Structure 1
Amino acid sequence: MSTDVAIVALIIICVAPALAILIFLVRKHPEFGFAAIGITVLSQWDFPNQAPLFNLLGSNVFGPDVICLTLMAAGILNSRILLRHLGWTVIPWAFLVALVLFSLVRGIGFFGIGLAVNEGRLLLLPAMAVFWAFTVDWSRQRNNTIFRTSLRFTSWALVALAIYHAARYGVGTASSAFIEIDGIAQSTRILTQLQALTMGAGLLLALDEWQSRRRTSAWVEAVALGAVIVASQQRTVWAATAMGVLLLLMRGRMRSQITFVGFAAMTVLTLALVRMTPWGATILDDVEQSAANQETYEGRLASWPQLISQSTRMGDLAVWFGQPMGAGFVRIEPNGEIATWSPHNFYLLIFLRLGIVGILVFVALIATIVFRAFRRSVHPLALPLVAQLMVFCWSYGLSWISAAVFGWAVVASMRTAPRDGHTGLERSAQSVSYA
């Protein structure tokens, strides 16, 4: 305990002043938050094994913990804007946070702070980062422009990174053998699922700009990002991005839809020509193999009922309000191996840790957001981004890395923006009225 006290004292003396300055900067300049997210997502593939910064009260503290705590603190200082952004939905969002904290406190009591906090990161980090995103003043055109530029820059940096990975390690498939990177077994697919998802958001941004400005360069950008997403062979991201594209086109004008079909036909023709080359045929064959491989998904489907059954056997409290953080996710995979990692389904994760009450509140919130986003007065990019993330959550989770995109989309869904000559994300920066 004396060591922990010494660490806390050292943090207070040395780190706290620097952290306070950083919180102030993030509060006034959200681009620091966008930069932290961008750097993190760019480093995921090549540096998967993060060393803890220090150990506090039996729990390791990592870089993302510090980033999310900083974002949350900046959000608290800007919390006065929450009601203006979210309206009455502030109450159910706050209730969800209360359920997360309730599960964490119970977990600390049952399993100790180390296990509870380690597992709790799956919900705590997204909650902290999304809270910050909700408090960013999106009515300022500067913040929207910086967000758009940050997302676009990160997407193109990921393109360069994917090309590097492909040149060095090859273009792997969903069933390819793993390689060791930084002491961790890493898939040979050229991007991680969160990197591909970030590019998917960049693709939707480019398509929205193309629909608004009729710029061919925006279409070329969308096609380039789409090609890398396909080559990444992250199949959940394929489905999520396809859903986003479909909804974005539905929100567009008939002229945009017809033009999109024409451009899409040209793209298919180009792929057919590429397939005639030796390297193109190899890549497209790998893509087809990944699309047909359902082994991973079938394994998850087989293990999810086990986790649900375990939870229901834990009693009424676990069913209604979830099991405590740290309870684990032990189940038997179809191949007979024992799995302990998270269930790769955000909705199931919410049920397991927040219970029926938590999943009902979350689904009701998302349904409300989607319903409001269908209004013609809402920014057309809001619904596709929310839908993209929600489809992704079926096979993975809502990461804190996606917080800025999710936060912007939710706030945009809750607002009404005039449909004027402004384009892209800038349209949400105009003077708006609240429905």
Structure 2
Amino acid sequence: MLLDPTTLLLGCAALIVCAALVASFVRWPVWAIGLYIAVQLWQTRQNMHQPVPGAGLVLLPTDVLAVCLLVAALIMLTRNRGRRAPALLLALLGLTAYALIRGAGLFGLQAAGNEARIHFIQLFCVTLFVAVLSPGRNLARAFTLIWVLAACALSCLAVVGWLNVGIGSNSDRIMVDGALTGTRPVSAAEAMIIGQAATILLCGRRSVRGRALAWLLLVVVILAQHRTVWLATGVMITGWLLSRHRQTGSRTAALGVLGSLSMLYLGAVSWGTADEVTSSLAASSEDDRTLVWRMEGWHALLPQLAEVPDWLLGLPFGSGYDRVINGAFVAVSPHNYYLEVLMRLGLLGVALLLLVYATAWRAAGADSEHKLMLRLLICSQLVYMITYSLSPEQAVILGLSVACEQPRGACRPPSLEESPCLTKPHSSPASPARTARI
């Protein structure tokens, strides 16, 4: 079969671009993380997650970036033997590849690839890339900056949305271009980033501007009206307050929260919108139809695992999530990542996922400076996955926690002028003790 010259030229250009991306990711990992987060959020705002059925396997921008990140991670593992390969993540990628190959053989590459691309392939590839990086202050600071900037940008988009359509409850719908759409300007995944950024600022240095920005972000999370995000953020804030039980500032912080909410309410009253906001929040908190609907869907999916191999390794990608809830046919995802992993990777995949989180929790304790922040972020993900699939950008947090288990300073041998361990203070070359030791 002869290739068209234009197709061949485009293919060569794509290979060159991918090779350049891989090389830059290996050289500047922070650039890779920032680029992926920016493209992922832009892609989410453009509603590009679901390719049009029948259009073939359409590659998304994040698909290409995820593959480049995977290749860069493998290169870093082979070039630097001081880094440990996260065996659990590699095992999850292996199970995903096995389920993808099975699904491609049964249902075609389009159906299998479209189902596996976001919450499995991209998620595990990005996690592996971040997990093999050398931990340190620079990586943590870069992550903090990226997350806070993303949260501020999403908060601005939320404010613009509220100015256009007002603040609606989780069940309100508006007509846009002849179609009903939700009134919430940010999705649950985006609201989760905002809540996590607020927690990061609270766990960071005691800066008045940082704390003020954190409380503003928390107000945005409340008005975004995603109840799962409320719960996840509440868990993080509770953990942060419990960590301060010996500090007198915890009561001051609580009073500051109440004061901020009171001022917000008084401002709403003066603008004549308090009734709309409070009634909207009440409707969101009291509406249990979504939760009941999801629980019925979870129960309807389990009978699809009929055989022992299905329970052990899951069903192949492309099998879908078809079920009947209250007499209506439903084909959307189960809205529970634990169940989603069980359906596609089996009990073995669920066990590996939980072991990855256990490893991340233990590894986060090795970083005394960011221990609280990382563990609170891990808890938020564990809560979030109860009713939502884990979004790919959350892989950065999981990978960052796992990376703390990597030996620091393993990439180069220590010299006589510096300490072998970055956590130990080193004396001057002219120090008598050091001279005697030499």
TM-score normalised by structure 1 residue count: 0.84
Query: Does 2:146 match 1:150?
Result: yes
SS across alignment from 2:58:
strand
SS across alignment from 1:60:
coil
Closer, same or farther in 2 for the Cα pair 1:184/1:95, shift >3 Å? farther
For 1:233 and 1:2, locate their aligned partners in 2 and report how far apart those are by CA, in whole Å: 55
Closer, same or farther in 2 for the Cα pair 1:82/1:118, shift >3 Å? farther
What letter matches 2:333 in structure 1? S
Residues 149-188 of structure 1 aligned to structure 2 (within 5 Å)? 149-180=145-176, 186-188=181-183
Alpha-carbon offset, residue 12 of structure 1: 3.4
Do the aligned partners of 2:300 and 2:325 also contact (CA within 8 Å) in 1? no
Query: Does 2:190 match 1:198?
Result: no
Q: How many residues align?
A: 407
Closer, same or farther in 2 for the Cα pair 1:36/1:118, shift >3 Å? same
For 1:231 and 1:408, locate their aligned partners in 2 and report how far apart those are by CA, in whole Å: 29
Alpha-carbon offset, residue 299 of structure 1: 0.4
Alpha-carbon offset, residue 279 of structure 1: 1.6
Query: Does 2:290 match 1:296?
Result: yes
**Radius of gyration: which is bigger?**
2
Query: Does 2:246 match 1:246?
Result: no
* The one of 396, 408, 412 aligned to 1:404: 396
Alpha-carbon offset, residue 51 of structure 1: 8.8
Query: Does 2:252 match 1:259?
Result: yes
Do the aligned partners of 2:357 and 2:398 also contact (CA within 8 Å) in 1? no
Corresponding position of 2:215: 223
Closer, same or farther in 2 for the Cα pair 1:63/1:415, shift >3 Å? closer
Corresponding position of 2:320: 328
For 1:169 and 1:51, locate their aligned partners in 2 and report how far apart those are by CA, in whole Å: 25
Task: Write 1 or 2 for the structure with the bigger share of helix.
Answer: 1
Query: Does 2:347 match 1:349?
Result: no
Query: Does 2:12 match 1:20?
Result: no
Alpha-carbon offset, residue 250 of structure 1: 2.8
For 1:390 and 1:175, locate their aligned partners in 2 and report how far apart those are by CA, in whole Å: 25
Alpha-carbon offset, residue 93 of structure 1: 2.4
Residues 376-401 of structure 1 deviation map (CA, whole Å, 9 limit, x = unaligned): 94622110011111111111112212
What letter matches 1:309 in structure 2? P
Closer, same or farther in 2 for the Cα pair 1:130/1:294, shift >3 Å? same
Over the residues paired in the alignment, what is the CA RMSD in angstroms?
3.0
* The one of 131, 134, 139 aligned to 1:134: 131
Alpha-carbon offset, residue 80 of structure 1: 5.0
SS across alignment from 2:335:
coil
Corresponding position of 2:269: 276
For 1:67 and 1:39, locate their aligned partners in 2 and report how far apart those are by CA, in whole Å: 11
Do the aligned partners of 1:85 and 1:134 also contact (CA within 8 Å) in 2? no
Alpha-carbon offset, residue 275 of structure 1: 5.2
Do the aligned partners of 1:204 and 1:244 also contact (CA within 8 Å) in 2? yes
Alpha-carbon offset, residue 340 of structure 1: 0.9
Alpha-carbon offset, residue 328 of structure 1: 0.6
TM-score normalised by structure 2 residue count: 0.83
Corresponding position of 1:426: none
What letter matches 2:308 in structure 1? D
Do the aligned partners of 1:416 and 1:432 also contact (CA within 8 Å) in 2? no
What letter matches 2:128 in structure 1? F
Corresponding position of 2:411: none
Which runs of no fewer than 5 residues in structure 2 stay unpaired?
Answer: 409-420, 425-438
SS across alignment from 1:386:
helix
Closer, same or farther in 2 for the Cα pair 1:186/1:85, shift >3 Å? farther
Closer, same or farther in 2 for the Cα pair 1:372/1:151, shift >3 Å? closer
Closer, same or farther in 2 for the Cα pair 1:24/1:372, shift >3 Å? closer
Alpha-carbon offset, residue 230 of structure 1: 0.8
Alpha-carbon offset, residue 202 of structure 1: 0.8
Closer, same or farther in 2 for the Cα pair 1:289/1:398, shift >3 Å? same
Residues 401-431 of structure 1 deviation map (CA, whole Å, 9 limit, x = unaligned): 222222213334x3799xxxxxxxxxxxx93
What letter matches 1:224 in structure 2? L
Alpha-carbon offset, residue 206 of structure 1: 0.9
Query: Does 2:377 match 1:385?
Result: yes
Which runs of no fewer than 5 residues in structure 1 stay unpaired?
Answer: 418-429
Alpha-carbon offset, residue 126 of structure 1: 0.6
Larger mean Cα displacement after TM superposition, 169-178 or 197-206: 169-178
Closer, same or farther in 2 for the Cα pair 1:284/1:136, shift >3 Å? farther
Calculate percent identity across the aligned residue pairs: 22
For 1:403 and 1:81, locate their aligned partners in 2 and report how far apart those are by CA, in whole Å: 23
Do the aligned partners of 1:41 and 1:401 also contact (CA within 8 Å) in 2? yes
What letter matches 1:288 in structure 2? A
